Structure 1
């Protein structure tokens, strides 16, 4: 998701492009609006904790650690907000932390899971799911405990309007929400007739050209940490047992990897932020 909005990015001399340009601006502004409260809360925490002069200095710290460890800004801000603060004057944020090797990602054919980029893993699980289900449309979402919902992070073959509408989904009214609640795979054979959806969600899915879908939870420790969903242009029947088994295995592998990432790579980024904040000479002056 784009973190910054540049007013000139959609400049055009053709008046016929104006509606598309405006829709794109609206999508980016909505994405910013969804992220802004969380990032602002993290900035306030950092200002108070490290006695920073202003919110801009706090943002620069977040951005510095985000770029250094290749962790999404929203992910890092969420960790700042939800994790227990370091002890006053402590040299490290997480003393005694034990590092564990990354869980294998055999079903995705990723050899070095310890150095895999999160975005690449999410892209790979989406590609794998689309290959197993023989479709070209789908998306990956990440569970957010703070908002009790799912955020889209990767997608393929879906319209911009679909991605905008389902950028965040709550606990009810969609197949992915039901799969997250049950921590089990959910098949919707015909979106037009299934009572699982709210009418607005049903309309948005149908307008995107999807008539059926299958959602697979990404699972770690018995809880849903994310979701991958495949969409189909026609109503479908039940998936074959071999497909369900392959998707379940992938969901568990990727779920365990995401949990490892949160307690390893994200915590590394927080330690870097903490060290930079405690030593003013190491702080970035302003956002880049």
Structure 2
């Protein structure tokens, strides 16, 4: 690992396991733990760091001084990339979906303040950029540049997610995570032992494509995983009264903050599945808090 990355990671907090006490869990005889990856860092939190870590290590090993990636106007991935680039002294370029807004979102403003060059492109062009998956795939990429696909979703990200699984020191039956690109789930599937399962909750509508996308990332044939498609609440970044009420009640009980795009929907769906008897009595569930709380500023 590059010394600068080692130094950065040494400044991080601890990703602790927190047991949730709730009468509903007692009623259905299941236990729930939250893996608090949001506590790693106030900005490079959760799976953002896990996915970036080995991409950054590879970029630095190649002598790259410029990182290029893509995302939306509240992208957690680009937000983390811009900050990490500033810390490491690397130039960053963000390819942003849609026209430049008259007023930059707080996320975009942060990214610009940290030195990221913002390039706004049409939604059609943005979809085309999703075809470029490997670090050198971007057309006309220069020798000093390193490309990361949307969300950092490539094979280099899987290694960082595997480290997360290795940190879990209690027995469990199911490991749950929210899904955007599916790379976080793929990393968990690759790392969990065969007797345990991984369960993904799609954050967006019409997410059937996640199944083949996740399969394409796996390094082994696995059948101990599933993606739940029913708790997107109307689509990516959409919310509902039920979701926001659940999040408010959960945070009041546990003091654990959630976001309505990923972790909120995952736990909302997980609680609903528990109430429907999806899990057998006696099962222990671990839900991954992937951070990304900065995006809550879009719902202020």
Question: Could you tell me the TM-score, scaled by structure 2's length?
Answer: 0.26
- For the pair shown, the structure with the greater C-alpha radius of gyration is 1
